[in-house]
Chain A
């Protein structure tokens, strides 16, 4: 039952929970966007994303100086079921909905800025 405890540990941190919640809304997200939306340092964002990477929750893709991450859970796996449960729990929470809204606004602002670069100093 150590494996199951480990599985829950992935979501036992508020920042990781928020990161996963954002990743669930998009196909792929840049570390710079996670930093911007959550208002955290690059070191903190990267640390949590590497943690999730090593446990198999996400895959990475380098683009210039930034890393992009996407969820990579197998449909029907315990991780997948856990994500569905998380979505179920958070979808009625105003704080979680506001975070998704913030992500949309952030990405829209980035899209409007020149080559999508100025908003988060990407690439």
Chain B
């Protein structure tokens, strides 16, 4: 029953709880987004995400400097059941809703920045892959 205790321990920390709450709202999340939304240091965010990674809650994908994480729970697994329970418990809470709102805001701002970057790049010349030979 050690595995089950460990699973509950994953949620026994407020920061990890918040990270899982954010991850369950999106397909994939960059460490940089977690840092921004929760207002924590990179070291803290990465530490908790590595903890979740080693317990099998998330998988990682490197994208340049940053790591991206996504939930990786098998349907019907204890982790998935626990996550559903967490969703049900947190969904009506203003604090949790506000956090999801902040995440949306952060991702929206990021999309705009990336769009602007792409537009600028387009004005200076088409990206390398799109140039005619």
Verify A8–B12 contact, CB threshold 8 A.
yes
Contact with A along B1-42 (1 / 0, CB 8 A): 110111011111110111001000000000000000000000
A120–B12 Cα distance when bound, in Å, is: 34
B131 CB–A CB distance under 8 Å? no
Which of the segments A39-47, A51-59, A77-85, A107-115 contacts the partner chain? A77-85
How many residues of B are in contact with the other chain, CB < 8 A? 27
With a cutoff of 8 Å between Cβ atoms, the chain B residues found around residue A27 in the complex are: none
Is B66 interfacial (CB-CB < 8 Å)? Answer: no
A contact residues, total (Cβ < 8 Å): 27
Interface residue A69 (Cβ < 8 Å from any Cβ of B): no
Residues in A with CB closer than 8 Å to B12 are 5-6, 8-9, 12
CB–CB A14/B5 < 8 A: yes
In whole angstroms, how far apart are the Cα atoms of A21 and B13 in the complex?
Answer: 22
A57 CB to closest chain B CB, in angstroms? 13
Q: What would 7 A/B residue contacts be, using CB atoms closer than 8 Å?
A: A1-B95, A4-B17, A11-B8, A13-B5, A17-B8, A85-B82, A99-B1
